[in-house]
């Protein structure tokens, strides 16, 4: 038996595929190879497989499938993935037969699977296991080796559209985005521009994003200087750096120079998230997360549409982690439609598809913009009808280039960063003005370990606990004690923890509310491991 299943632990296809310690994944990768081929035969299209554990520590790894348009695997096949990963070796071939039968898959039809991995040391042997699974069903394949997750999503969509979305090579990705960026920046002319040629410090999380952004920076150096730190040459992946570290710790990563008002951006381990930040003249850290990126980008697109004389149905999709101040700003100040869905890009992506222009971002910096074909048609119409000096026509051209700069398949650190840089230039604002759009409510995110996180059942876009029943009344009681209090808990789909989120009027109160709620989770949710400890050594101190 190739790649035998040596563990009894149940693995679930969670928020972003299978994710656990790398040494538990050999049989999973082999079976995912088989699954990808079956999916390819069923969809009659190329399917992607990305080997990554993204923001998790370097010892972890994971794997997820990419569907034909570059979107996440359809939910009904997530169930099949979980079944395949957990079935015993002796029942594997009968399960494959039953999948083929149930989904009426023509096993003799052609199939094509493309795959890539991040920079984790475990990646190459897991790639070999995946390939064995693919070859067991005689499928064609391409191993793209080390790429970012969004590059692989781009490749799948490009291949399946016969190059209409972009040239289906890693170089084609760099070319498409850099051409759109250069075109936009050569078009934008202000009498007074805050930064003639902007500079940005990028924290590459010691991962694949660092390698790819260096390639991109060479193509766009006429308009922006990108300096890369934590570039995978020496440091450990995601260790004291990267988008997740910055967002959760609410502090700067190690390895990035502190220069007041310099724009900084942190990517995560597979470069599908980005978080911005800067230091003020007192070297105090200020963060601009996915919510602020969404506000900037949605505002910029909305301005383009007004200038082009177009009325479009634009909506913003968030999750419960969105800061309350951002939701208020989008709805009350910008008068935009805002939807709230469960955590996980797949949920945001499908909700965003309901709008003509759907801007979706998780607070953790994961997001992109989706445009319906009708928007692109309307823009082309404006261009055809307008004269060359017509401001409507210029706005339509700019928006079309903005669309080309967007990786519509999935959140993309590099594409999102270039969209932010373009939006800042177009709006002629600097990082301070962007930050001043609204003031975040103080917040805190914690995680707590429980023996079995699957006992948690949630409702209302994961903002309320249905089971264990005793937890939600306690959370409600605690929240009512704090001014502007809001808190919710949910089991993570990528780590073996329950996440706790809290907001309140002051940082000290947000920290205490998060702590008190985490204690409830620990005590009533079957906590194991380390018991939560009070913030600020138990003292009522304000965080410096
Ligand atoms: C993945 C998902 C994100 C999600 C994050 C955390 O990100 O793609 O949508 O927000 O995990 O999920 P959870 O709270 O369930 O652990 P990444 O960047 O790690 O792939």
Ligand 1 center to 15 CA (angstroms): 6
SS3 per-residue string spanning 231-291: CCCCCCCCCCCCHHHHHHHCCCCCCCCCCCCCEEEEECCCCCCEEEEEECCCCCEEEECHH
What is the per-residue pLDDT across 179-194, written as a single tens digit (0 to 9) for each? 999 999 998 876 555 5
The pLDDT-based confidence of 302 (bands split at 50, 70, 90) is: very high
359 lines ligand 1 (CB under 6 A): no
244 lines ligand 1 (CB under 6 A): no
Q: Is 363 annotated as a binding residue?
A: yes
Order of all β-strands in the sheet with 263-267: 225-229, 199-203, 263-267, 274-279, 285-288
Quote the tokens at residue 12: 């679930």
CA distance 534 to 107: 58
Domains and CATH numbers, the chain: 18-146 (3.40.120.10), 173-288 (3.40.120), 291-436 (3.40.120), 443-525 (3.30.310.50)
pLDDT for 22 equals 97
What is the per-residue pLDDT across 162-179, written as a single tens digit (0 to 9) for each? 999 999 999 999 999 999
User: What mean pLDDT do residues 428-435 have?
Assistant: 96
Ligand 1 center to 306 CA (angstroms): 34
Q: Is 499 annotated as a binding residue?
A: yes
pLDDT for 14 equals 86
Name the residue at shortest CA distance from atom 20 of ligand 1. Answer: 54
275 lines ligand 1 (CB under 6 A): no
* Closest atom of ligand 1 to CA, residue 494: 16
pLDDT for 465 equals 97
Ligand 1 center to 14 CA (angstroms): 9
pLDDT at 489 over 50: yes
pLDDT for 538 equals 62
What is the per-residue pLDDT across 378-422, written as a single tens digit (0 to 9) for each? 999 999 987 766 889 999 999 999 999 999 999 999 999 999 999
pLDDT for 389 equals 67
User: What mean pLDDT do residues 471-480 have?
Assistant: 98
Query: Which residue in 463, 455, 450 sits closest to 520, CA to CA?
Result: 450
118 lines ligand 1 (CB under 6 A): no
Q: Is 242 annotated as a binding residue?
A: no
Q: Is 494 annotated as a binding residue?
A: yes
Name the residue at shortest CA distance from atom 10 of ligand 1. Answer: 344
* Active site (catalytic) residues: 54
Query: Which residue in 268, 484, 229 sits closest to 366, CA to CA?
Result: 268
More confident residue, 544 or 535: 535
pLDDT for 287 equals 98
Q: Is 231 annotated as a binding residue?
A: no
The strand pairing partners of 359, in sequence order, are 316, 369
The pLDDT-based confidence of 450 (bands split at 50, 70, 90) is: very high
pLDDT for 541 equals 43
Ligand 1 center to 128 CA (angstroms): 25
Query: Which residue in 497, 504, 507 sits closest to 530, CA to CA?
Result: 497
413 lines ligand 1 (CB under 6 A): no
Ligand 1 center to 266 CA (angstroms): 16
User: What mean pLDDT do residues 304-322 have?
Assistant: 96
User: What mean pLDDT do residues 62-73 have?
Assistant: 97
Quote the tokens at residue 202: 């990028």
* Closest atom of ligand 1 to CA, residue 270: 18
* Closest atom of ligand 1 to CA, residue 14: 15
pLDDT for 385 equals 86
pLDDT at 544 over 50: no
Percent of the chain with pLDDT over 90: 92
What is the per-residue pLDDT across 247-261, written as a single tens digit (0 to 9) for each? 999 999 999 999 999
What's this model's pTM, rounded to 2 decimal places?
0.95
What is the per-residue pLDDT across 508-533, written as a single tens digit (0 to 9) for each? 999 999 999 999 999 999 999 899 99
Flag the least confident range among 113-117, 205-209, 382-386, 404-408: 382-386
């Amino acid at each position: 038996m190739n790649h035998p299943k040596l563990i009894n632990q149940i693995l679930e296809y969670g928020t972003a595929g299978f994710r656990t310690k790398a040494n538990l994944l050999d049989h999973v990768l082999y079976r995912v190879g088989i699954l990808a081929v079956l999916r390819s035969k069923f969809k009659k299209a190329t399917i992607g497989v990305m080997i990554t554990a993204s923001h998790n520590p370097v010892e972890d790894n994971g794997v997820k499938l990419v569907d034909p348009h570059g979107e996440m695997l359809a939910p009904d096949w997530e169930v099949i993935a979980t079944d395949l990963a957990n079935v015993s070796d002796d029942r594997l071939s009968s399960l494959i037969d039953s999948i083929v039968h149930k989904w009426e898959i023509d096993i003799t039809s052609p199939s094509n699977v493309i795959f890539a991995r991040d920079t984790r040391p475990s990646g190459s042997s897991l790639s070999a296991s995946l390939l064995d699974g693919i070859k067991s069903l005689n499928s064609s394949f391409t191993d793209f080796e080390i790429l970012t997750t969004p590059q692989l999503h781009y490749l799948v969509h490009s291949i399946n559209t016969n190059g209409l979305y972009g040239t289906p090579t890693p170089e084609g990705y760099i070319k498409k985005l850099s051409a759109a960026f250069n075109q936009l920046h050569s078009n934008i002319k202000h009498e007074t521009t805050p930064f003639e040629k902007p500079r940005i410090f990028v924290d590459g999380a010691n991962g694949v994003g660092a390698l790819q952004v260096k390639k991109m920076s060479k193509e766009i150096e006429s308009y922006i200087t990108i300096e890369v730190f934590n570039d995978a040459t020496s440091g450990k992946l995601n260790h004291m750096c990267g988008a997740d570290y910055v967002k959760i710790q609410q502090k700067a990563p190690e390895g990035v120079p502190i220069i007041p008002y310099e724009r900084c951006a942190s990517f995560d381990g597979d470069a599908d998230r980005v978080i911005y930040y800067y230091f003020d003249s007192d070297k105090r850290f200020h963060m601009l997360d996915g919510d602020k990126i969404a506000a900037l980008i949605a505002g910029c697109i909305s301005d383009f549409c007004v200038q082009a004389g177009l009325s479009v149905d634009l909506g913003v999709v968030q999750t419960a982690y969105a800061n309350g101040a951002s939701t208020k700003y989008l709805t009350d100040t910008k008068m935009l439609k805002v939807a709230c869905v469960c955590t996980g890009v797949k949920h945001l992506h499908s909700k965003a598809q309901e709008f003509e222009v759907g801007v979706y971002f998780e607070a953790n910096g994961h997001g992109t913009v989706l445009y319906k074909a009708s928007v692109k048609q309307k823009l082309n119409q404006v261009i055809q009808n307008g004269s060359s000096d017509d401001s409507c026509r210029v706005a339509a051209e700019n928006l079309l280039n903005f669309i080309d700069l967007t990786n519509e398949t999935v959140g993309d650190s590099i594409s999102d960063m270039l969209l932010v840089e373009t939006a800042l230039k177009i709006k002629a604002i600097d990082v301070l003005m962007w930050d001043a759009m609204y003031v975040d409510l103080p917040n805190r995110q914690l995680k707590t370990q429980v023996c079995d996180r699957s006992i948690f059942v949630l409702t209302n876009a994961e903002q309320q606990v249905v089971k264990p029943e005793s937890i939600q009344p306690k959370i409600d009681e605690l929240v009512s004690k704090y001014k502007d209090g809001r808190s919710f808990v949910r089991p993570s789909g990528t780590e073996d923890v329950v996440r706790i989120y809290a907001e309140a009027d002051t940082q000290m109160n947000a920290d205490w509310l998060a702590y008190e709620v985490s204690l409830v989770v620990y005590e009533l949710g079957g906590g194991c491991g380390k018991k939560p400890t009070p913030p600020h050594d138990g003292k009522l101190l304000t965080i410096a």
